[in-house]
Amino acid sequence: MIQRILIAFALIVLPVPALAQGVVTSADPRASDAGLEILRKGGSATDAAMAMMLALTVVEPQSSGIGGGGFLLHHDAKTGLIDTIDGRETAPAAATPTRFLGTDGKPLPFIQAWPGGYSVGVPGNVALMKAAHAKWGALPWAALFDPAIKLAEGGFDVTPRLFNALTGLQKIWADFPDAQKLYWRDGAPAPVGTRIRNPALAAVLKDIATRGPDAFYTGANAEAISATVGNAPKNPVPLTVADLAAYRAKERAPVCGPYRSYTICGMGPPSSGATTVLQILGMVERFDMQALGKDNPRAWHVIAEAMQLAYADRETYLADRDFVAVPVAGLIDPAYLKARSRLISADKTLGTYAAGTPPGAQPRTAALSSEVAGTTHFIAVDRSGDIATMTSTVESGFGSQLIANGYVLNNELTDFTFAPEKDGAPVANRVEAGKRPLSSMAPTIVYDAVGKPVFTVGAAGGKTIIMQVAKALIARLDWGLSAQDAIGLGLVYFNRDGIILEQGTILEPMKGAMEALGHKVNVAKLGLKANAAALEGGRWVGAADPRSPGESRTE
């Protein structure tokens, strides 16, 4: 199915004229400046995106960096083809299905599993960067490191967002002196405006720039990662130099599906992003969302119902496809989605949201994973019309709280389901050596009826990522909102107690109407952060979430 879609694109895609300018957008203006600098030097969209990934390692250490991993989508304007690269972290050889079980055989509380060595996966971003640059890079490899090295050596100022992240971790960091050395001053989180310099990170970036990925995955840096995890102040475990040397980023087939007259493409497993987004859209499609409009509680009711049905399938069937048979085609099968959509009433809630049985699915038991809010997204479009859209993460705020050579090591392994079995059956997303944990990251590209890319979006915020992207797509494609307004629009989400309407948005006043439809409703703030770009009037326009300090830049 995916190959047929891509072949169709190749056959009908129209020649794309050179654009008047390129555009970049990220969650931090200093990273966007890095991307713009690379575009102005003649860099490709991939070059600019990778420079932003490196810059975010320096200025947004709480969210992403070379100590983490990510997923990249790339659109080639000449061929019309879309490619994806999986740079998701892997579990080290010492990781077993019982890693997150206590001595009583029960799953550890997240707060015990998260900080320290247990949660660290083998980082993938540097390998992803190498694979992407080899295919689509225009500038020399070393040139992409220049903006990040300047930021690390010259320093950057603490933002309110970074300060809030530091303040929230103050008690935990009592056990993490290496993190304190970088980001604390006088025994407390560095105040807003404090200049942070990171010479250790600058040195390792210079080494990778000179010697390539081997400087990260072998030698002194690999030994530093191994020692940091193996001697962690909490939960020390082996992560060996052999684990690092064995890491490979993987090119994977994108997952694409229809929504109205558009084709939506995104990441396949181990990301659950594309499948779950496409499920939500597929169930919503029979409703006239344009007529309902963004101010109608019934529109959000339909979205909320589709959301909960799609997430039920996600928790049951999604995992690393290299280890588990994932029924991707069945999950987005139009007939299956129509049957799931028939469960949705426009007038009342379903109330119970169980997984379905998509075509090709093996019997499974559902089990919740522990993904939490974090992450970052960034986009680059160059003058040729190539698009690089990437979601990158160290998982929780400051990942595992461990620092190696000036960068944060991820806590990605807590994205695995802690309990390896449920009801006597193995859980799809259980920990296994070499396996990549399930992710909600959902970098997405939208194509119009003739195969032309017209919108790209991605988000940060744990499991809310899927809903942020699905909501932005509905807002853009059904309600005609600008890219900026689409990502800035309020969000509906859910937990075990019912649905959540984002506080301070147009959804908050809908609480009573949603309750009248049968929903249990809470109003709360949600840690959201998205970036997007849209083709408008023949030119790409970038957008950054108003909830974040992010900005877009035009070449």
| CA separation for the pair 291, 301 (Å, rounded) | 14
> Do 24 and 542 contact (CB within 8 A), yes or no?
yes
How many Cβ atoms sit within 10 Å of the Cβ of residue 140? 12
Token representation of residue 273? 């992003």
Q: Which of 62, 87, 61 is nearest to 74 (CA)?
A: 87
Q: Which of 328, 259, 291 is nearest to 1 (CA)?
A: 328
| CA separation for the pair 54, 39 (Å, rounded) | 15
| CA separation for the pair 89, 222 (Å, rounded) | 15
Count of structural domains, the chain:
1
- The answer as to whether 396 is a domain residue is yes
Q: Return the SS3 of 40.
A: helix
- The answer as to whether 299 is a domain residue is no
Q: Calculate the alpha carbon distances from 455 to 25, 239, 389 in Å.
A: 13, 40, 11
Token representation of residue 229? 């995890």
Active-site choice (84, 228, 276, 375):
375
| CA separation for the pair 396, 58 (Å, rounded) | 16
Q: Rounded to the nearest 10 degrees, how much is the dihedral formed by the CA atoms of 188, 395, 389, 212? A: 80
How many Cβ atoms sit within 10 Å of the Cβ of residue 143? 18
**Catalytic residue flag (residue 375):** yes
Token representation of residue 320? 């690393």
Amino acid at residue number 292: L
Token representation of residue 5? 């879609």
Q: Which of 18, 47, 15 is nearest to 539 (CA)?
A: 18
- The answer as to whether 56 is a domain residue is yes
Token representation of residue 513? 């109407």
Q: Calculate the alpha carbon distances from 444 to 30, 57, 84, 265, 457 in Å.
A: 23, 22, 10, 6, 5
Q: Which residues pair with 265 in a beta bridge?
A: 256, 445
- The answer as to whether 239 is a domain residue is yes
DSSP 522-546: EEE----EEEEEEEETTEEEEEE-T
Give, for 252, the enclosing helix (H) or strand (E).
strand 250-252
- The answer as to whether 136 is a domain residue is yes
Per-residue pLDDT of the chain (555 residues; tens, 9 = 90+): 333 344 344 334 444 555 668 999 999 999 999 999 999 999 999 999 999 999 999 999 999 999 999 999 999 999 999 999 999 999 999 999 999 999 999 999 999 999 999 999 999 999 999 999 999 999 999 999 999 999 999 999 999 999 999 999 999 999 999 999 999 999 999 999 999 999 999 999 999 999 999 999 999 999 999 999 999 999 999 999 999 999 999 999 999 999 999 999 999 999 999 999 999 999 999 999 999 999 999 999 999 999 999 999 999 999 999 999 999 999 999 999 999 999 999 999 999 999 999 999 988 776 666 666 679 999 999 999 999 999 999 999 999 999 999 999 999 999 999 999 988 888 999 999 999 999 999 999 999 999 999 999 999 999 999 999 999 999 999 999 999 999 999 999 999 999 999 999 999 999 999 999 999 999 999 989 999 999 999 999 999 999 999 999 999
Q: Rounded to the nearest 10 degrees, how much is the dihedral formed by the CA atoms of 319, 322, 325, 331? A: 60
- The answer as to whether 312 is a domain residue is no
Phi, psi (degrees; rounded to nearest 5) at 270: -80, 5
What per-residue confidence (pLDDT) applies to 4?
35
DSSP E strands: which ranges in 402-470? 403-404, 407-408, 421-422, 425-426, 444-447, 453-460
How far is the first Cα of the chain from the last one, in angstroms, to the nearest whole number?
37
283: Cβ contacts below 8 Å, ≥ 6 apart: 305, 306, 309, 310, 337, 340, 341, 344
> Do 395 and 369 contact (CB within 8 A), yes or no?
no
| CA separation for the pair 434, 270 (Å, rounded) | 12
- The answer as to whether 517 is a domain residue is no
| CA separation for the pair 243, 415 (Å, rounded) | 19
Q: Which of 330, 350, 328, 225 is nearest to 271 (CA)?
A: 328
- The answer as to whether 509 is a domain residue is no
- How far out from the chain centre does Cα 396 lie? 12
Tokens 């996600």 — which residue? 314
Q: What is the pTM of this model?
A: 0.95
Token representation of residue 528? 């959201």
- Structural domain range at position 380: 43-67+87-250+376-426
What per-residue confidence (pLDDT) applies to 9?
41
> Do 474 and 445 contact (CB within 8 A), yes or no?
no
Rg (CA), the chain: 22
Give, for 54, the enclosing helix (H) or strand (E).
helix 45-59
What is the pairing mode between strands 82-87 and 250-252?
A: antiparallel
Cis check for the bond before 191: say yes or no (omega within 30 of 0): no
Give, for 274, the enclosing helix (H) or strand (E).
helix 273-284
What per-residue confidence (pLDDT) applies to 17?
54
256: Cβ contacts below 8 Å, ≥ 6 apart: 2, 5, 6, 82, 263, 264, 265, 266, 274
Q: Which of 300, 348, 341 is nearest to 494 (CA)?
A: 300
Tokens 């080639």 — which residue? 76
> Do 542 and 13 contact (CB within 8 A), yes or no?
no
Sign of CA dihedral 303, 269, 532, 547: positive
Tokens 């970049």 — which residue? 24
**Which residue positions form the known binding site for L-glutamate?**
88, 415, 439-440, 462
Tokens 């399938």 — which residue? 313
Long-range contacts of 1-10 (CB under 8 A, 24+ apart): 1/329, 2/253, 2/254, 2/255, 2/256, 3/253, 5/256, 5/263, 5/265, 6/81, 6/82, 6/254, 6/256, 8/451, 9/80, 9/81, 9/82, 9/263, 9/447, 9/451, 10/79, 10/80, 10/81
Q: Which of 457, 468, 454 is nearest to 540 (CA)?
A: 454
